[in-house]
Amino acid sequence: MPNIKSAKKRVLIGKARNARNKAAKSDLKTAIKKFEAAAAEGNRTETDGAYKVAVKKVDQAVAKGILHKNAAAHKKSAMTLKLNRLG
């Protein structure tokens, strides 16, 4: 446990950021899972909507520094291929 006031503040800031990042990452995973479920079901219109939401969440995660840009590109590419396979 830190004794210095500024160190105590850094611990609190770290906890707040950790909670924010955890929530954003959970939101991202949920959006991707919804897309995967819609794609597995085979419903094109539902999959299109879920795809747009998932890609937006991936881009937001990159902007917030939660996801690396290359990892995001990989995820978006995989989702696009899956979407295009539905036909």
Contact 83, 51 (CB under 8 A): yes
pLDDT of 22 reads 97
Domain count of the fold of the chain: 1
Is a pLDDT exceeding 90 seen at residue 1?
no
**Which residues constitute the domain of residue 13?**
5-86
Looking at the chain, list the stretches that DSSP marks H as alpha helix, in order from N- to C-terminal side: 5-41, 44-64, 69-86
Cβ-contact 45, 64 below 8 angstroms: no
Cβ-based burial of 38 (10 A; exposed 0-12, middle 13-18, buried ≥19): buried
> What CATH number is attached to the domain comprising 22?
1.20.58.110
Terminal Cα distance for the chain, rounded: 57
pLDDT digits (tens, 9 = 90+) for 9-62: 999 999 999 999 999 999 999 999 999 999 999 889 999 999 999 999 999 999
